[in-house]
Amino acid sequence: MSAPEYRTALGASTPETITLLGSDLARDVMGSVGFGELAFWLAAQRRPTPGETRVFEAVLAALADHGFTPTAIVTRLTYLSAPDSVQGALAAGLLGGGSRFLGVTEDCGRFLHDVLAAADGLPTDDAGWDALALETVTARRAAGRFVPGLGHHVHKDGDPRTPRLFAIAAEEGVAGPHLALFAAIGRVHPQVLGRTLPLNGAGVCGAALADLGLPLELLRGFALLARTAGLIGQLAEELRHPVANDVFLSVDRNNRSVAPDPYVPDPLGG
Amino acid sequence: MSAPEYRTALGASTPETITLLGSDLARDVMGSVGFGELAFWLAAQRRPTPGETRVFEAVLAALADHGFTPTAIVTRLTYLSAPDSVQGALAAGLLGGGSRFLGVTEDCGRFLHDVLAAADGLPTDDAGWDALALETVTARRAAGRFVPGLGHHVHKDGDPRTPRLFAIAAEEGVAGPHLALFAAIGRVHPQVLGRTLPLNGAGVCGAALADLGLPLELLRGFALLARTAGLIGQLAEELRHPVANDVFLSVDRNNRSVAPDPYVPDPLGG
Amino acid sequence: MSAPEYRTALGASTPETITLLGSDLARDVMGSVGFGELAFWLAAQRRPTPGETRVFEAVLAALADHGFTPTAIVTRLTYLSAPDSVQGALAAGLLGGGSRFLGVTEDCGRFLHDVLAAADGLPTDDAGWDALALETVTARRAAGRFVPGLGHHVHKDGDPRTPRLFAIAAEEGVAGPHLALFAAIGRVHPQVLGRTLPLNGAGVCGAALADLGLPLELLRGFALLARTAGLIGQLAEELRHPVANDVFLSVDRNNRSVAPDPYVPDPLGG
Amino acid sequence: MSAPEYRTALGASTPETITLLGSDLARDVMGSVGFGELAFWLAAQRRPTPGETRVFEAVLAALADHGFTPTAIVTRLTYLSAPDSVQGALAAGLLGGGSRFLGVTEDCGRFLHDVLAAADGLPTDDAGWDALALETVTARRAAGRFVPGLGHHVHKDGDPRTPRLFAIAAEEGVAGPHLALFAAIGRVHPQVLGRTLPLNGAGVCGAALADLGLPLELLRGFALLARTAGLIGQLAEELRHPVANDVFLSVDRNNRSVAPDPYVPDPLGG
C-alpha cells in the first residue's frame, strides 16, 4: 500500500534552504521575528501585528511563573531524581498544567466565546455588555456553576494583572468582545452574587487570547508555553540554590505510618 | 520539626502585588518585556541587552520547528489518542528532546566550553583560533569521537542557519569565544578529516547560547522552549488538517506479524 | 510554621525493616506475592483472593499490548529521539492513554456503576437484568449517546476477550452486577439499536475491574499498568528489530509542503 | 513511495482472533499467565519458568513503593494540579525514574555484566569469586568511583531485601554469575574500603534481573514497571487521604523571596 501524503505548512527543508510557514527561515525569520511573535505565527499561521504581539507577550509574561506552584515543585523534584534528563523535568512540570492550576485561562476563554457565539448579535455599548453579562452570570448562578475567571485565593481585592492587560489591549486597539464581556462581568456580578470578586489574571489572559483570534482548543497550550519558560527559570535556580532535597526530606521525615484502610466501593442499587 | 525555608528570586505574591525577579510584574514586565527576553531573564536572573535578546530569539527561531520530526509526530499521535490532554501531547513531544534529535545544541555548547575552559589563555587572532581548533579536532579524531556540531544529513553543503547566526551575533557585538572556536573548527577540520562538513544549525545555536553566558546545563532547555512553540504549531495544524490517524494506519496496516525471537544475553567470561 | 504530618499506609522504613501495607516486605511480600496481586493490594489496601487475582491478571493480559497502537509508536519514536531516557519513552507512550485509545475501560466501568448506583435495587434474575439494560440502552440512545463498551472496529462479530473474561470471572465466583449488566446490554441492545454490536474487550475489562471493587477513578490506571508492560515489550523489540526510524522516514519523505492557512475563529453573535 | 513493512512478534489481530507473542490471547494467555510472567515474556519474547517468574516478581515487589519518594510526591502533586489526567500523574512520577532514585538497579546490573563479560572465564568457587570481586573493587576504588549497589542511606547495617532475594534465587535455582559476583563484593569490599557497607536492595535486584537473562538496556524499565504499580497505590491513597495540597502549602508558605542572583559563567582560558 502506498503511504499517504502528509501536508504541512510548518517547517520544510531542501539541501539549500529551510522554510518555515512559507518564509525563508534564515533570511526572513531569524533576526527579524521575536519569539512571542513566532509562537503566535506558528499557532495561527498568520503573522501578528506589533500590537497583537505586545498583548500576546504580556499574556505570556503574566502566566510564566508564580513561584512555588505544584508544577514548579514537580519540575525541581523530578530533576533531583533524574538530573540526566532536563526534558523529563520540564515535561513532568507541564503535566500539572491541567484543569486546576493552569486551566482557568482556557476555561475562561471558551466560556466567554460560547456566550458570545450564542448571543443574538453583539452589544454595541456598555449598557448592552452589562445586560449580556447580567444574563450570563444569572444563568450560571442558577445552574449552580462558577463563573470562570472570577475570584482569586490571594488577590482578593483585585489581581494587578487584570487592569494592566485591559490597558495594554486598549492601547494596542485589540480589545474585542471577549474582553468587553469579561469587563462587564466584573461590573455586574456583585448584583447577582451579593459580593465583589476580582477578575483574575488567568481569566483575563484567556479573554485576551480569544480576542487575538487564537484557537480556543489551544489556549491551555499558550499557558504551557509561558510556563515552560518559567520552569526553565525554576531549574536554573535549582541548579545554583537547590531546594528540592529539602522539600523531599520535609515530606519524608514528617510521614506518619498508618494501618491500611481497605477501599469499600459505593453501594449499588441505591 | 519545623519546615525549612525555600528561597527563590522568581515569582512572589502579596494580596496587592505580584513580583517576578524583583520587578513588579504588572507594571514593569507585562507590556514591556518580550517573551524571549523574559525567558532569558528567568534563566540567567539578569535582564539581557537588546542585542543579546535578538541573538537569543534568533536561536529560538532556528530551533522551533523542523517539520515532521519524531517529536512532532509524537505530539500529533498523542493528541489523537488523548485529545483531552493538550499538556500530555506537548509533554510527550518534549520527551523526545534527548541526545539524538535536540541534544546537539547542548552537546556542542558544552564541548566548546570544555575546550575553552581547559585552554591556556584564549587566542587573540584568527591564527590562534585556528591553532586551537586544529588541536581540538585532531585530539577528537584520535579519540575516535565526532566533533559536535559538524555535519548534517540534509544540508550537506552548508546549513543556512549557520552563517546567519554568526552574522546576527556579529551585528549585535555578542559573538564571543564559543562562536570563534566553532568558526575556526569550520575552517580547519578538512585538514584533519579529509573532507568538508557543514557547521550545523543546532551546533551554532549551542555556541551562541554559550556566548550569551547562559547556563550550560540548560542549553537543551532552550531548545525545548523553542520546540514547545513549534509543537503548539503542530497541534494547531493537526486540529484543522489532521495527519496523525493516517500515520497510525500507515504503520498498523503495514505490520508484519512474525514469530517471537527469544532474547539471548551476551556471553560472559569472554 | 511546623510541617504537617503526611499519613500513608504504603511503604515505610526503619534502619532494620521495610514495611509495605503493614506487612514485612522482605519476609512476607517478596517471594510470596505475585505482581498482579501486589498491584491490586496497593490500590485497594486489601489483599485480593486468588480468584480476584486471576480475574485481575486476565484483565491486565487483555490490555497489555495491541500491536502498533499510537502509544506503541510513540514510545518507539521517543526512544529513537532520546535513547538516553527509557523513562521518557515509557512516559510518552502512557500519555496517549487518554479518552480515545485506553479510556474505554474506565468509561465503561463508570457508566455501568452509575446505572447500578441509580437503580432502585438490583435485579435478581436475567429477566430483571434485561429490563434494566433495555431501559439503559433506550435512554442512552434517546440522548444521542453511545453505550460505552459496545462496538469494535476490527472484531465486528465478537471480541474474543469478552466471553473469556466472563468465563474466568464466573469460574472464580467474582462476577458481579457490573458484568451482569454488561452481559444484559449485549443481549438486548439489538432490539433498540436495530443491529448487533460486539461487547468489546476494553469494556468487559472495565466491568470486571468494577466488580472487583477497585476504585473507579483509577480504572484507567490499571489499563496504564498493563500497557507499561506492553511498552517495555515494544522497547525490547525496538532494540533488536528497530522500526521507529522507518516510521519517521515514511512520514518525513511523504510530507507535502503547502502554503500557510491562516486560522479564522468562529463567528460571534450568531 | 510504498511504506516499509513493520515487523513485530507482539500483539496482532484478525477479526476473529487476537494473538500475543504467537499465542492466542483469549484462550492461552488470559486466565493462565500471571502479570509478572507476562511482563517477562513480553520483554524477553520467551516464557519464563515458574522459578524465574517468582524471582522476577520478588524483584518487582522490592521496587514497587518506598513511601514518600520524590516520584510519589510528584505523582500526587501532578494529580492535585491536573486531576483530569491520571495518565499525566503517572507519567510525571515515572519521569523521576532516572539516574539517582531508580537508576541503581540498572547501573548495578550493567556494572556486574561488564565485569563478567571482560573476565577471563568465570570463577568456579567462592575463592575465585572473591578474587574477581577484590580485583573489581580495588580497580573501582583506584579510579575514584563508587561500586554500584553498595551502601544505603537508611539501612546502614543491611538492607533486608538483599538476603531475601539471594535466598529466593537460590531456592529457585536461578542464581547465576551476577548474583555470585555481587555476593562476593559484599564479602570482600571491607578489605579494600576499610569499612563495611550493605549490599542494597536496588543493586541486588539489578543482579537478579541480569541473571534472569533480561536485556540490560531495560533493567530501569522493570524498576519503572514496579513503580507504576506503586504510583497507582499512591494515587489511590491520595484520592481518599490527600496530602498533596499540604505538601504544596508547606512549600509555598515557607518560601523566602530573595533578590535575583545573576548567573556568572565559569571563566574560560583557565
Confidence of residue B4 (pLDDT cuts 50, 70, 90): confident
Confidence of residue B2 (pLDDT cuts 50, 70, 90): low
* D260 to B45: CB separation less than 8 angstroms, yes or no: yes
Q: What is the pLDDT along chain A (270 residues), one digit of tens a residue?
A: 456 899 999 999 989 999 999 999 999 999 999 999 999 999 999 999 999 999 999 999 999 999 999 999 999 999 999 998 999 999 999 999 877 777 899 999 999 999 999 999 999 999 999 999 999 999 999 999 999 999 998 898 899 999 999 999 999 999 999 999 999 999 999 999 999 999 999 999 999 999 999 999 999 999 999 999 999 999 999 999 999 999 999 999 999 999 999 999 999 987
CA–CA separation, B41 vs B214, rounded Å? 10
**Percentage, residues of chain D above pLDDT 70:** 99
Instruction: Name which of C81, C257, C261, C266 to mutate to probe chain A: the one with the most chain A Cβ atoms within 10 A of its Cβ.
Output: C257
Which residues are CB-neighbours of A144 under 8 A, at least 6 positions away?
none
CB-nearest partner of A261 from C5, C9, C82: C9
Separation in Å, CA A241 to CA B7, C121, D74, D263? 8, 60, 20, 11
For D46-76, letters b (16+ CB in 10 Å) and e give bbbeeebbbbbbbbbbbbbbbbbbbbbbbbb
The radius of gyration of chain C from alpha carbons, rounded to an integer in Å, stands at 23
Q: Which of D171, D57, D141 is nearest to D179 (CA)?
A: D171
Q: State the nearest Cα–Cα gap between D156 and chain C, in angstroms.
A: 7
Estimate to the nearest angstrom the gap between the alpha carbon of B23 and the chain centroid. Answer: 28
Using an 8 Å Cβ cutoff, are D232 and D224 in contact?
no
**Model pLDDT, residue B108:** 96
Cβ burial of C127 (10 Å; 0-12, 13-18, 19+) is exposed
CB-nearest partner of A3 from D3, D83, D99: D3
CB-nearest partner of C81 from B89, B101, B255: B101
Q: Which chain B residues touch C71 with a CB distance below 8 Å? A: 81
Listed in sequence order, the DSSP H helices in D148-199 are: 161-171, 177-193
CB-nearest partner of A9 from C4, C82, C260: C260
Which residues are CB-neighbours of D222 under 8 A, at least 6 positions away?
C232, D39, D43, D56, D59, D60, D63, D105, D209, D214
Minimum Cα–Cα distance from D13: chain B residue: B257
**Model pLDDT, residue D98:** 79
Which residues are CB-neighbours of B4 under 8 A, at least 6 positions away?
A243, A246, A250, D254
Q: Which chain A residues touch B12 with a CB distance below 8 Å? A: 67
Q: Which of C94, C135, C25, C114 is nearest to C235 (CA)?
A: C94
For D61-79, write each residue's pLDDT tens digit. 999 999 999 999 999 999 9
**Model pLDDT, residue C2:** 59
Strands D6-8, B255-257: pairing kind:
parallel
Q: Which chain C residues touch B80 with a CB distance below 8 Å? A: 70, 96, 100
Q: Which chain C residues touch A257 with a CB distance below 8 Å? A: 7-9, 12, 19
CA–CA separation, A183 vs A52, rounded Å? 19
Confidence of residue D47 (pLDDT cuts 50, 70, 90): very high
Separation in Å, CA A264 to CA A210, C211, C217, D229? 45, 12, 13, 20
Separation in Å, CA B60 to CA A6, A30, A267, B204? 25, 8, 56, 12
Minimum Cα–Cα distance from D77: chain A residue: A70
Compute the average pLDDT of residues B184-201: 96
Dihedral angle of Cα A99, A103, A108, A110, to the nearest 10 degrees: -80
Strand, helix or coil for residue C256: strand
Q: What angle do CA D131, D134, D139 make, to 5 degrees?
A: 130
* A252 to D68: CB separation less than 8 angstroms, yes or no: yes
Q: Which chain D residues touch B177 with a CB distance below 8 Å? A: 268-269
Report which secondary-structure segment, H or E, holds B13. Answer: strand B12-13
CA–CA separation, D222 vs C38, rounded Å? 15
Q: State the nearest Cα–Cα gap between A94 and chain D, in angstroms.
A: 9
CA–CA separation, D213 vs C162, rounded Å? 34
Taken in order B43, B44, B46, B48, the sign of the CA dihedral is negative
For B201-255, write each residue's pLDDT tens digit. 999 999 999 999 999 999 999 999 999 999 999 999 999 999 999 999 999 999 9
CA–CA separation, D87 vs D89, rounded Å? 5
Q: Which chain A residues touch D103 with a CB distance below 8 Å? A: 82
Minimum Cα–Cα distance from C247: chain B residue: B251
Which residues are CB-neighbours of C154 under 8 A, at least 6 positions away?
D13, D14, D15
Amino acid at D129: W
Residue with cell 497489555: C64
Q: Where are the beta strands (DSSP E) in B54-167?
A: none
**Model pLDDT, residue B102:** 79
* A70 to D78: CB separation less than 8 angstroms, yes or no: yes
CA–CA separation, C24 vs C13, rounded Å? 10
Which residues are CB-neighbours of D68 under 8 A, at least 6 positions away?
A248, A251, A252, A255, C6, C8
Cβ burial of C152 (10 Å; 0-12, 13-18, 19+) is buried
Instruction: Name which of A1, A35, A255 to mutate to probe chain B: the one with the most chain B Cβ atoms within 10 A of its Cβ.
Output: A35
Q: ipTM of this predicted complex?
A: 0.96
* B7 to D261: CB separation less than 8 angstroms, yes or no: no
CB-nearest partner of D101 from A81, A91, A99: A81
Minimum Cα–Cα distance from B101: chain C residue: C81
- Phi and psi dihedrals of B262, rounded to 5? -55, 135
Using an 8 Å Cβ cutoff, are D60 and C225 in contact?
no
For C25-77, write each residue's pLDDT tens digit. 999 999 999 999 999 999 999 999 999 999 999 999 999 999 999 999 999 99
For B125-144, write each residue's pLDDT tens digit. 999 999 999 999 999 999 99
Cell of C60: 491486565
**Model pLDDT, residue C4:** 82
Confidence of residue D2 (pLDDT cuts 50, 70, 90): low
Residue contacts between A and C (CB atoms, under 8 Å): 153
Q: Which chain B residues touch A154 with a CB distance below 8 Å? A: 13-15
Q: Where are the beta strands (DSSP E) in D44-181?
A: none
CB-nearest partner of D250 from B3, B46, B264: B3
Q: Which of A194, A177, A213, A183 is nearest to A55 (CA)?
A: A213
CB-nearest partner of A83 from D84, D99, D252: D99
Minimum Cα–Cα distance from A209: chain C residue: C265
**Model pLDDT, residue C270:** 77
Residue A167 CB-half CA count within 13 A: 10
Helix axes D161-171, D201-211, angle to 10 degrees: 20
Cell of A239: 541548579
Residue contacts between A and D (CB atoms, under 8 Å): 147
Residue contacts between A and B (CB atoms, under 8 Å): 308
Residue-range domains of chain A with CATH:
32-99+218-240 (no CATH), 104-214 (1.10.230.10)
Minimum Cα–Cα distance from D62: chain C residue: C30
Strand, helix or coil for residue C102: coil
Q: State the nearest Cα–Cα gap between D99 and chain B, in angstroms.
A: 15
Strand, helix or coil for residue C243: coil
Minimum Cα–Cα distance from A266: chain C residue: C117
Chains contacting A (3 or more CB pairs within 8 Å): B, C, D
Using an 8 Å Cβ cutoff, are B231 and B90 in contact?
yes
Using an 8 Å Cβ cutoff, are D129 and D189 in contact?
no
